[in-house]
Amino acid sequence: MRTTAGRLAVAGTVALLAACSRNPQPVVATPPVPTATDALRAQMHRDSLLAAARADSIWRAQKAESHADSVRAAVMSETVDSAKDVTNTGLAAAAAALMAERVHFDYNKADLQPGDVELLQRKLGILQAHPRLAVQIAGNCDERGSDEYNMALGERRAAAAKRWLTAHGVADARITIISYGKERPLDGGHDEDAWAKNRRDDFVVTRGIR
């Protein structure tokens, strides 16, 4: 026959086992110790990312330079063609001078200013009076900013003037636009006076009234 002490010992052991089963101790994972191979792989990965970034930067620079070269070539060609077209507009001197007046823009903007809207209104009168007349609007920028950014900004400036004219009844086909970015400055200075002159739209008659 079991003694009272023995029965108590057995009961205590059972209770202890039950408690342990209800509250198991968490197992703490030991982090792996980095090896020399792991460090080498990490360094190779970093080197690969840096090489990819350098290659992308070089590609973008080459693309921008190539684009700038093509714009310069277009500027030279366009200048010759425009000079030829302007001599045969058939417009009276005052009307021709008005059509050649420039629209100007604030820094980094492509919004038409009130005074320039008044100028476009006067140009509109000439275009309405001569249905055959066609023009090209060339957007230009000052020297600040990248070639790529200024090409896009120049196009928005030219498009703003065209959008105003076509919204007031001029046929879309009579107006073409081009951007010269910062490749054709009027003033070669490097101050605000020069920059203000260079932020502009030029207007060139591409088809005369006859």
pLDDT tens, position by position, for the chain (210 residues)? Answer: 455 555 655 555 555 555 555 555 566 666 677 787 877 888 888 888 888 887 776 767 666 566 555 555 555 455 444 444 445 789 999 999 999 999 999 999 999 999 999 999 999 999 999 999 999 999 999 999 999 999 999 999 999 999 999 999 999 999 999 999 999 999 999 999 999 999 999 999 999 988
Rounded CA-CA distance 127/140 in Å is 23
Q: Is residue 36 a part of any domain in this protein?
A: no
Q: Is residue 20 a part of any domain in this protein?
A: no
- Asked if residue 170 lies in contact with residue 124, where contact means CB atoms within 8 angstroms, the answer is yes
Burial of 111 (0-12, 13-18, 19+ CB in 10 A): exposed
Residue 155 sits in a domain of what CATH number?
Answer: 3.30.1330.60
Q: Is residue 29 a part of any domain in this protein?
A: no
pLDDT score for 5: 56
Q: Is residue 54 a part of any domain in this protein?
A: no
Domain count, the chain: 1
Q: Is residue 86 a part of any domain in this protein?
A: yes
Query: How much is the pTM?
Result: 0.62
Q: Is residue 141 a part of any domain in this protein?
A: yes
- Asked if residue 208 lies in contact with residue 89, where contact means CB atoms within 8 angstroms, the answer is yes
- The number of helices, as runs of H, and strands, as runs of E, in the chain is 6, 4
Helix residue ranges, H only, 87-208: 93-100, 114-129, 147-167, 192-198
Q: Is residue 139 a part of any domain in this protein?
A: yes
Encode burial over 99-109: b for 16+ CB neighbours within 10 A, e otherwise. Answer: bbeebbbeeee
Q: Is residue 181 a part of any domain in this protein?
A: yes
How many beta carbons lie within 10 A of that of residue 149, not counting itself? 15
pLDDT score for 50: 83
pLDDT score for 87: 57
pLDDT score for 42: 82
Rounded CA-CA distance 112/171 in Å is 20
Tell me the Ramachandran region of residue 181: left when phi exceeds 0, alpha when psi lies from -120 to 50, beta otherwise: left
pLDDT score for 26: 61
Q: What is the largest CA-CA distance in the chain?
A: 135
DSSP H or E run through 88: none
By residue range, what is the domain housing residue 147?
74-199
